[in-house]
Amino acid sequence: MEKRKNNIFEKNMSPERKNKTSLNLEFLEKEKKFAFLKELREQFPKAEIYLVGGAVRDLLLGRETKDYDFVIRKVPANEIEPFLQNRGTVDLVGNTFGVFKFIPKEDDSHNKIDIALPRKDFALGTGGYRDVEIQSNPDLAIKEDLSRRDFTINAMAVEIKDGKYKIVDPFNGQKDLKNKVIRAVGNPIDRFKEDYSRMLRALRFSCQLNFDIEKSTWKAIKNKIKGLNEIKRNVELSSRGSIAEPKVIEHRVVPYEVIAKEFLKSFYENPVRAYELYDESGAFEQLIPELLKMKNCPQPEQYHTEGDVWAHIRMALGKLNSEEFQKEFGSEPLSKELIIATLFHDVGKPYTLQTPEEHGVDRIRCNDHDKVGAKVLEQICERLKLSSPPKVGVDCEKVVWMVGHHLLIAHSKGVKLKARTIERYFFNPQNPGDDLIKLAFVDISSTISSSGKPDFTQYNSLLEQIKNFKKLSPTKKGLPKALLNGNEIMNEFNLKPGRKIGKLKDLVREEQLQGNIKTKQQAIKFLKKHI
């Protein structure tokens, strides 16, 4: 993998922590929620206690971590469980797993701490992330436990003994941290055959940490990426009366819920890097081939000198983390929905492409690509289950809505938007109006006309209208309430319910938002002219 730029997480890391791999674990002795470690050593003098996995990686990098996993050697599960139960709440995850989900009494955050015995995996080699037999053994060497992990930077442990800390690093994870490399533990083909979702984890870690993927690990990802779509078939016997008939049950080796989690995390961390990695690894080809249609999909040169649709999307994703974007909107975290809407906002163009050569149009056109793209995205969201991962899933309705309306400003070019239109799109709490403005900004920023510059004329006009609308509300909490509702209109003019009432409401509301009428009496007087 070539070296890449645009390191997002380093921007948020203190200068003294960059490029350092020192370890400070004093908090394990000071924080009350970790008091059980000292008590564990006192009650079980033979116990060997290790902090393991991602926490070690993040602490060495100076990154914030909330997930703490410990491995306890030399103490059987039936002795650890009552010890933990006396000090908090605990759940055992499978008798053979030997993993306890522990929440200390002193921990107000209620974050679960994993307490495990050393474990050994016996993978079935199907690529299914659950197709593995796990056996715990309190006497298993810590190196054996670490050997079951995915990448070297996650296969480190720190032995905690009498306030002193010793790093256990049998696979040179510290070296890979220093060199900023994602490398599989042992043979990468074997690691991925144990669990195909690890390939997407490699892409995600590369995005999160701005690390390169080691050559043989990268080659194995490209070689095995098709495994993401493998189907497992089991034959079960179903009874019909006294006759047992075989029934074939199919399910995905890697569930879409797992894929969605890794995919979304990657794009949240670093959209441009994720875009490139998912393309180069073949993950897009396996999971979202609709996006690849954007490659070599031409655009009218008078409006898009930046290149084809694929290049335009890449540029738009980059604008989300640009100085001009932060200058326009501040440095608040981006919404998940905005990032995904940016990725898919022009997915409809290849489906609607018309060229002068093939279709006799005056120029390259992609009419209604916003509406068609929304339908394509709706199918993708449903297939990949993008709303399913807890704490990570997107609101698919909002993402689809943004894609379906991202041309609102372009379609209003030269025409002032109606007040009711602005209210409906940018002041309705049910719609992500603020994100739609941001999507318009990155879309325009990435649309380089023949003049060499993006055209923000209509965008600026819209912002000015929105700004003027906000002046209508003295409370600054939203637009003023409607002067007349449907019942009032019917009673005042002796009208029956029907579509006409809605049109009259819109007429009054438009005048109110334009600032032409301000009272109920003025609204009634205005309507008399239209009835």
Per-residue pLDDT of 373-386, as tens digits, reads 999 999 999 999 99
Mean pLDDT of the chain: 87
Residue 99: per-residue pLDDT: 86
- Which strands sit side by side in the sheet containing 113-116, from one edge to the other? 88-93, 99-104, 113-116, 69-73, 48-52, 157-161, 164-168
- Does the pLDDT value for residue 124 go beyond 70? no
Residue 201 binned pLDDT confidence (cut-offs 50, 70, 90): very high
In the predicted model, is pLDDT for residue 211 greater than 90?
A: yes
How far is the CA of 344 from the CAs of 248, 276, 279, 284, in angstroms?
Answer: 36, 15, 14, 13
Domains for the chain: give ranges and CATH numbers: 8-226 (3.30.460.10), 288-470 (1.10.3210), 486-528 (no CATH)
pLDDT at 14 over 50: no
Question: Strands 119-123, 132-136: parallel, antiparallel or unpaired by DSSP?
Answer: antiparallel
Q: How confident is the model at residue 2 (pLDDT cuts 50, 70, 90)?
A: very low
pLDDT at 18: 43
Give the pLDDT score at 402.
Answer: 97
What pTM was estimated for this model as a whole? 0.86
pLDDT-derived band at 207 (thresholds 50, 70, 90) equals: very high
pLDDT in tens, 46-74: 999 999 999 999 999 998 888 899 999 99
Q: For residue 13, name the pLDDT band (cuts at 50, 70, 90).
A: very low
DSSP state of 308: S
Residue 475 confidence (pLDDT): 54
Q: pLDDT, tens digit, for every residue of 262-306?
A: 999 999 999 999 999 999 999 999 999 999 999 999 999 888 999
Per-residue pLDDT at 405: 96
pLDDT at residue 9, rounded to an integer: 34
Of 208, 151, 149, whose CA–CA distance to 183 is shortest?
151
Closest CA to 489 of 498, 481, 479, 477: 498
Lookup: tokens for 137: 């053994």
Integer Cα distance of 495 and 38 in angstroms: 79
pLDDT band at 442; cut points 50, 70, 90: very high
Cα separation, 498 vs 504, in Å, equals 11
Confidence of residue 411 (pLDDT cuts 50, 70, 90): low
The whole-number average pLDDT for the span 17-28 is 63
Q: How many CA atoms lie within 13 A of 306 on its CB side?
A: 19
From 469, 475, 459, select the one nearest 420 (Cα to Cα): 469
Residue corresponding to tokens 């890794």: 262
H-run or E-run covering 104: strand 99-104
Mean pLDDT for the stretch of residues 19-43: 80
46-60, 106-120, 433-447, 469-483: the lowest-pLDDT one: 469-483
pLDDT band for position 413 (cuts 50, 70, 90): low
- Range with the lowest mean pLDDT among 12-21, 132-141, 443-452, 514-523? 12-21
Average pLDDT over residues 173-197: 96
Under the banding of pLDDT at 50, 70 and 90, the label for residue 477 is: low
Residue 94: is its pLDDT beyond 60? no
CA 211 to CA 65: how far, in whole Å? 18
Mean pLDDT of 10-20: 41
Is residue 1 predicted with pLDDT exceeding 60? no
Highest mean predicted confidence (pLDDT) among 4-13, 101-110, 160-169, 372-381: 372-381
